[in-house]
Structure 1
Amino acid sequence: MDQDNATTAAAAPTLVVGLRFQPSDALLMGYLYCKVSGKMHMGDVIKECDLYGQKEPWELWELYGGDKLQPGEDLYFYTQLKKTLDGSRINRSVGTGTWMGEDFNEPITFSQKLLGYKKRYTYEDGVTEQVGRWIMQEYNLNASLHDNDYDYVLCRIRKNDRSN
């Protein structure tokens, strides 16, 4: 197996044959809480990856085995937020484009307790034929559930196969 195939094979999610990883929003918040509190995390299924870096969404998709997923399945990542140089905003640039927010933070609750928020983003301003083809949901913990040094989020990446 060459180096590229070995990397992809090692990065692909490992689940029991016949099972799909399709967690609820509340369960994803639980995984994120465990990650930032140093307890356990879903290392085989939720990888750590710089989603706000130099690689394009489709490069990440291929690198982490997205092309091997069934229709409707997604990739999940823990990633660190990056602030702009002046520290006033979060920098969500990715490759040659950016993740643009489409909606407001949607609260995620469990047993009437606010766990955190999710927000939907799409890939914009980059490679023209890829604009709108990549969707990301970013999950943030409620501030009362972590310390102030927390900078991790959990993200779900989905390929939008609808034509533009």
Structure 2
Amino acid sequence: MRITGTAPGVRFEPEDDQIITYLLDKVTGKDLPQNPVIDCDLYGEDEAWKELFVETGESELYFFTRLRKVKTKKGEMGCGGGGGGRAERTIGSQATWRSSKDDPIFLPGGSVQIGSKRAFTYRPNQSSAAARKKETGDGFSMTEYRLDGVFDSVATDLVMCSVRRKEGRASSSEIEINDASVPMAWCLRPCRSIMAQPMMGGRVFSC
């Protein structure tokens, strides 16, 4: 994801542990600098997130979203985060995010787990092969990140997701930041040191 106000070719491409840092700060209520992570419901009836790919021309976008709780046989509610549980990932009656198994995320060095991630593929529910082919012309895949391990006690139903459009047109638009003096490190490596950078003007999509 390109961020304007920086040298050509500089893009927002955080590592897994850096994504967990973003999510931890969001969950614990810390102020985040202007950044390209979008607040949007990826599991609701409205698929507004699809329109953002059209608006931005990007092939990959980052989102904060909340898991939807489901009722168990005992009548209890699970949320899929904060120690497990179940989460509903159908999108209305139209589609489902189909998942693979979880993978742990560790701090650099590999000894302390700080989160987990899970890969998903967007699948429409239509039985018609023709309708399915039309819907998946621009297929989507997603990686969902959640707090886990040493951060399990503060985990909530809030997760951070990277959504990729498999067959989209090349990126042509940019998330706008109206300050040409944005520090290069702010865009190259979003990490803990970035949290100290001042807020900057611009816009972030929301839906």
Same fold (TM over 0.5): yes
- From 121, 141, 144, the equivalent of 1:135 is 141
- Alpha carbons of 1:42 and 1:32: their partners in 2 closer, same or farther (altered >3 Å)? farther
**Matches of 1:42 and 1:104 in 2, distance apart?**
32
**Which structure has the larger Rg over C-alpha atoms?**
2
Provide the secondary structure at the position in 1 that maps to 2:70: coil
Q: Deviations over 1:5-33 (max 9, x none)?
A: xxxxxxx9854343211111111011001
- The runs of 4+ residues in structure 1 deviating greater than 6 Å are none
Taking structure 2 as the reference length, the TM-score comes to: 0.61
- Residue matched to 2:89: 92
Letter in 2 for 1:52: Y
How far did residue 85 of structure 1 move? 3.7
Taking structure 1 as the reference length, the TM-score comes to: 0.75
How far did residue 61 of structure 1 move? 3.0
How far did residue 43 of structure 1 move? 5.0
Letter in 1 for 2:19: L
How far did residue 62 of structure 1 move? 2.3
Q: Which runs of 5+ in 2 are unaligned?
A: 79-85, 127-131, 169-207
- Residue matched to 2:101: 104
Percent of aligned pairs with the same amino acid: 30
**Matches of 1:65 and 1:20 in 2, distance apart?**
19
How far did residue 135 of structure 1 move? 0.4
How far did residue 65 of structure 1 move? 5.4
Alignment of 1:74-93 (within 5 A): 74-86=60-72, 87-88=77-78, 89-93=86-90
**Matches of 1:66 and 1:144 in 2, distance apart?**
38
How far did residue 68 of structure 1 move? 1.9
Provide the secondary structure at the position in 2 that maps to 1:50: coil
Confirm or deny: 8 A CA contact 1:123 1:130 kept in the other structure. Answer: no
- Residue matched to 1:7: none
Confirm or deny: 8 A CA contact 1:138 1:156 kept in the other structure. Answer: yes
Alignment of 1:16-95 (within 5 A): 16-17=5-6, 18=8, 19-41=10-32, 43-56=34-47, 59-63=48-52, 67-69=56-58, 73-86=59-72, 87-88=77-78, 89-95=86-92
Q: Does 1:150 align with 2:156?
A: yes
